[in-house]
Amino acid sequence: MSLIKQLSALMQHLGQGGLNFFQRLGRGHLLLLQLLTGLLPSLLRPRLIIYQIYMVGVLSLIIIIVSGLFVGMVLALQGYNTLVDFGAEESLGTVVALTLVRELGPVVAALLFAGRAGSALTAEIGLMKATEQLSAMEMMAVDPIRRVLLPRFIAGFISLPMLAVIFSAMGVLGGYFIGVGLLGVDEGAYWSQMQGKVEFGHDIVNGIIKSVAFAFVAVWIAIFEGYDAQPTSEGVSRATTRTVVHTSLAVLGLDFILTALMFGD
Amino acid sequence: MKTSSDTLIQVTDLHFARSGRPIFAGIDINVRRGAITAIMGPSGTGKTTLLKLIGGQLHPAKGSILIDGENVHRLSRRRLYRLRRRMSLLFQSGALLTDISVFDNVAFPLREHTDLPESLIRDLVLTKLEAVGLRGAAKLMPAELSGGMARRVALARAIALDPEFIMYDEPFAGQDPISMGVVLELIRKLNKSLGLTSIIVSHDIKETSAIADYIYLLADGKVVEEGAPAELTASASPWSKQFMQGLPDGPVPFHYPAPSLEEDLLHVTN
Ligand SMILES: Nc1ncnc2c1ncn2[C@@H]1O[C@H](COP(=O)(O)OP(=O)(O)O)[C@@H](O)[C@H]1O
Ligand SMILES: [Mg+2]
């Protein structure tokens, strides 16, 4: 008897979880629709967007620059150890640059963005909801989706691809310091091999397309989680966690799909 | 459904439930144009909820709310927003925007809805802040205000665009006797000299009776009494007697619905 009860409780739990999931998915898409329909009017208020680019993008610069440098330095160390066995240490520049531009730049920048800017966006919007600020705006006939959410959405969407490019550039520089400065790879070879092998159309553009896709997903998740948060301190803290976890998973999953499509053949 | 031109807001047979618990079980309220209508009742009866229903933020399960003959919950989003420009809601918490200063909070509706030059906005904001006695606090951030001050800033913001009607949610809560007098006088002045329609939600009987033209007493999801302040004070009904005189015993339950205390205390859960 109690087994049946437990089973039915389990079923109920699963069913409820499934329902919640699809409801949230629906609300997420509804919000996206509202965001997209408000896009044009919001673009007419560039000052709001510029301020948010500062909050979301410029304030993420330090972590992106430092991480980019270190990742590039590690890539150079690891790459050199492998390449030197084949006497191919001249290709170090190519290896470092391709890894960064195709993969690590977009992916790591997106993960860092989720932790630095995405979580902050969720917490800020969630807290505004919990303290009735969004509600007060609605009553003042100001649409919070256009006034609060969209400038952040647009700013994040613009900022992340640029941060990814900066990340890659810093990584190439970090690789140069270690490879050329420390390990003695020929400076001319480092740069010229890189220039010869990294194709703008194939590698750099595809990397940028990736980070544009990641930016879209990361900002959408962050803004939705904040807007959909339970209006309590616990609700906001849970939403913030979800932003980081869901964005990370989404970015890594999406990266696999995009890589397969772009570089699979 | 007839709306006399005298009535600005007409609430008819309103039903509303929150997480399965009924809050309103059919209430009827008429708010007369140019008058101060008070909604009173013990806390937790749904006074704030009623204001949010009138503002179109919550949707009734049954019944209707007409403002100027328009059904709030049938309006398109655009029309609802246009209607909201004519009204103001003073939130119980103040609900100031926390990342901008007091000045910018009061300027917010002006900047969002008008193209006034900054110098004029400055004059308007300072005038409104002066009216609530907080011109000196213009540069402070909301976090630097006390609860009563925050509510007065919110009041200045609520009147910034000179709305047609204002809903005040507990405007007197947390005010010291002096600022209480200021707020009271301000509400009266806005109402009498500008012809504003006002709804005051409160449980401060003395202050509310002093300025209200008409009072609705809510309890248990119903309007249990209504009338002019003098009528209610004189009324022999147990509801108004208990509420107007603040007696603990009477038909208005002081407690949130619960099993009896003995039952709860003796019932040891394992
Ligand atoms: N967001 C909410 N979710 C569920 N119940 C709520 C919510 N807000 C208020 N309530 C319930 O609705 C009732 C009415 O609340 P409210 O309108 O704030 O009362 P009042 O303003 O008269 O003190 C209360 O019993 C409260 O428990
Ligand atoms: Mg209330």
pLDDT of residue A29: 92
Q: What is the pLDDT of residues A40-80, one digit of tens each?
A: 888 888 999 999 999 999 999 999 999 999 999 999 999 99
Q: Does B47 contact ligand 1 (Cβ within 6 A)?
A: yes
Q: What is the pLDDT of residues B44-78, one digit of tens each?
A: 889 999 999 999 999 999 999 999 888 999 999 88
Q: What is the pLDDT of residues B185-207, one digit of tens each?
A: 888 888 887 788 999 998 788 88
Interchain proximity A140–B88, CB inside 8 Å: yes
Q: How far A86 CA sits from the closest chain B CA (Å)?
A: 58
Alpha-carbon gap, residue B267 to B89, rounded angstroms: 44
Nearest to A136 among B81, B87, B95 (CB): B95
Q: What is the pLDDT of residues A87-142, one digit of tens each?
A: 888 889 999 999 999 999 999 999 999 999 999 999 999 999 999 999 999 999 99
pTM of the full predicted structure?
0.88
Residue B256 in this model has a pLDDT that exceeds 70:
no
Helix (H, G, I), strand (E, B) or coil at A178: helix
Interchain proximity A142–B57, CB inside 8 Å: no
B259/B57: higher pLDDT: B57
Find the largest Cα–Cα distance for chain A.
78
Interchain proximity B84–A141, CB inside 8 Å: yes
To test the ligand 1 pocket, which listed residue (B18, B92, B169, B222) has its Cβ within 8 A of the most ligand atoms? B18
**Which residue in this structure is represented by tokens 């009338």?**
B227
Contact B49, B16 (CB under 8 A): yes
Q: How far A40 CA sits from the closest chain B CA (Å)?
A: 17
Q: Which residues contact B3 (CB under 8 A, 6 or more apart)?
A: B10, B66, B68, B69
Mutation target to probe the B interface, by most B beta carbons within 10 A, among A47, A140, A152 is A140
% of chain A exceeding 90 in pLDDT? 71
Ligand with the closest atom to the CA of B44: 1
**Which residue in this structure is represented by tokens 């394992």?**
B270
Chain B neighbors of A131, CB-CB under 8 A:
93, 95, 98
- Pairing mode, if any, of strands B87-90 and B222-227? unpaired
Answer whether B112 touches A (CB < 8 Å): yes
Chain A neighbors of B81, CB-CB under 8 A:
141, 143
B3/A134: higher pLDDT: A134
CA distances to A102, A153, A188, A192, B263 from A83, rounded to whole Å, are 19, 42, 17, 17, 79
Q: What is the pLDDT of residues B214-254, one digit of tens each?
A: 999 888 888 988 888 888 877 777 777 777 776 666 666 66
Touching A: B residues 202-261, CB under 8 Å = none
pLDDT of residue A249: 96
Nearest to A138 among B57, B108, B112 (CB): B57
